[in-house]
């Protein structure tokens, strides 16, 4: 498809997708569809970009890339967090050439236009007496914070109601108290694949037992057979096998005062949010996602005793949190172009935890670093195969109901 095709042809393309099958090739490779994805899906979401501890001091900033645009996230002199497009209002040069740092002002390296930390234009040399600098501040992005997490929305119109979207997360998020966390490590992967393939891989566990030996050894195999990554897609016979472990863990966690709830939106929602708490491997007395099953760091938030559970919170398919009792991970999936995507994991611990004393970084990151390395190879191979002229959409398995729903959600939003 090219951008000059009539809208009804695009509508026909959407309508002919078969429920329960993967999408046609163009949805994973076509630049015009990618741009449509950005406008109709990505830019209408609140995107989790990082944790506030990355910019703890006034003037601290970092730059994040989303769909070819760069966004500056900065803590200003009033201790507020702002977000701006990294493009000068003069002739469009990048204002900030560094990925992170500290500034009192931002000075465009091309013609020295100078911007305050609130985005307002401070000075522009030789622009004449009739020039109104109040009209030339940096273009702003919508930005909100919640429990120490920073979110941006790139919509030019009013963004979705942020407070409404996070309201159901509170019992899960408050348990971990990420506002009192700090970043222990981060790692990014730039993958040669479409963003939808990255998400499809993350939200199904049909491949987990064969492709992720470390993950399968740490977690209960019965759980993965029952749920994969989506409790709403559990198969009855597999769920029955997992039920005794789940019931025993729920009794244990409830006796400690911790929630064991789970809920999830369906494909008709705006953001397909979900939250759940499940045991890691209760029968094996696994406390955290480490090689030996022991804690990786000090307990976080309201956990005074470890219950061996892990919390999963999905704000939307682009940002998910996975949180055992002793650490937390941000998973960010960012579209860059039709055939390039970024995956980033940010590992967090309690703000008082000391590396080398309370936690070992390699032990902390081991499981999901290895798993995401494997997933990177899987999804790049998937994309390369999808690009074949012989590719045809194939049927989803019983354990891929989550991505069947993801596909329906995506097609509804772009249509």
213: helix, strand or coil = helix
CATH number of 51-153: 2.102.10.10
Exposure string over 217-251, b if 16+ CB within 10 A, otherwise e: ebbbebbbbbbbbbbebbbeebbeebeebbeebbe
Average pLDDT of every residue of the chain: 94
The 10 Å Cβ neighbour count of residue 393 is: 16
Rg over CA atoms, the chain = 22
User: pLDDT of 216-258, one tens digit each?
Assistant: 999 988 887 776 544 555 567 878 889 999 999 999 999 999 9
Nearby residues of 257 by Cβ (< 8 Å), 6 or more positions away: none
11: helix, strand or coil = helix
User: pLDDT of 20-73, one tens digit each?
Assistant: 999 999 999 999 999 999 999 999 999 999 999 999 999 999 999 999 999 999
| pLDDT at 2 > cutoff 60 | no
User: pLDDT of 96-146, one tens digit each?
Assistant: 999 999 999 999 999 999 999 999 999 999 999 999 999 999 999 999 999
The whole-number average pLDDT for the span 137-160 is: 97
- The pTM of this model reads 0.94
- The residue extents of the domains of the chain are 51-153, 165-414
Q: What is the pLDDT of residue 78?
A: 93
Q: What is the pLDDT of residue 184?
A: 98
| pLDDT at 4 > cutoff 80 | no
User: pLDDT of 269-326, one tens digit each?
Assistant: 999 999 999 999 999 999 999 999 999 999 999 999 999 999 999 999 999 999 999 9
Instruction: Please give the angle made by the CA atoms of 286, 292 and 293, to the nearest 5 degrees.
Output: 20
List the one residue out of 413, 404, 41 whose CA is nearest residue 228.
404
337: helix, strand or coil = strand
Q: What is the pLDDT of residue 149?
A: 98
User: pLDDT of 342-401, one tens digit each?
Assistant: 999 999 999 999 999 999 999 999 999 999 999 999 999 999 999 999 999 999 998 898
Architecture of domain 165-414: Alpha-Beta Complex (3.90)
């Amino acid at each position: 498809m090219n951008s000059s095709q009539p809208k009804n042809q695009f509508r026909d393309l959407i309508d002919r997708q078969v429920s329960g099958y993967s999408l046609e090739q163009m949805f994973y490779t076509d630049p015009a569809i990618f741009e449509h994805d950005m406008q109709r899906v990505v830019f209408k979401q609140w995107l989790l970009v990082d944790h506030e501890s990355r910019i703890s001091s006034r003037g601290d900033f970092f730059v994040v890339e989303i769909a070819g645009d760069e966004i500056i996230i900065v803590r200003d002199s009033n201790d507020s967090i702002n977000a701006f497009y990294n493009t000068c209002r003069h002739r469009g040069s990048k204002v900030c050439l560094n990925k992170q740092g500290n500034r009192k002002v931002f000075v465009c390296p091309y013609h020295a236009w100078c911007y305050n930390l609130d985005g307002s234009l401070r000075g522009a040399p030789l622009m004449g007496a009739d020039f109104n600098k109040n009209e030339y501040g940096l273009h702003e992005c919508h930005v909100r914070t919640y429990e120490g997490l920073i979110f941006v929305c790139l919509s030019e119109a009013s963004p979705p109601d942020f407070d409404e979207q996070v309201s159901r997360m509170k019992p899960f998020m408050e348990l971990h108290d990420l506002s009192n966390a700090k970043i222990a490590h981060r790692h990014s992967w730039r993958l040669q694949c479409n963003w939808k393939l990255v998400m499809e891989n993350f939200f199904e566990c049909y491949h987990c037992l064969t492709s992720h030996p470390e993950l399968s050894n740490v977690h209960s195999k019965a759980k993965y057979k029952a749920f994969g990554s989506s409790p709403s897609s559990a198969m009855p016979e597999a769920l029955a096998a997992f039920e005794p472990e789940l019931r025993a863990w729920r009794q244990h966690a409830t006796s400690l005062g911790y929630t064991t709830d789970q809920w999830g939106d369906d494909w008709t929602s705006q953001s397909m949010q979900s939250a759940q708490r499940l045991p890691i491997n209760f029968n094996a007395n696994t406390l955290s996602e480490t090689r030996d099953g022991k804690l990786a760091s000090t307990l976080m938030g309201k956990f005074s005793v470890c219950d061996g559970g892990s919390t999963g919170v999905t704000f939307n398919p682009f940002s998910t949190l996975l949180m055992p009792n002793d650490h937390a991970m941000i998973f960010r999936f960012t579209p860059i172009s039709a055939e390039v995507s970024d995956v980033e994991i940010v590992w967090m611990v309690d703000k008082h935890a000391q590396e080398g004393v309370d936690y070992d970084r390699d032990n902390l990151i081991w499981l999901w670093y290895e798993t995401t390395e494997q997933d990177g190879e899987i999804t790049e191979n998937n994309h390369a195969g999808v690009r074949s002229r012989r590719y045809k959409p194939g049927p989803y398995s019983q354990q891929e109901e989550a991505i069947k729903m993801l596909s329906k959600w995506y097609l509804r939003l772009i249509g």
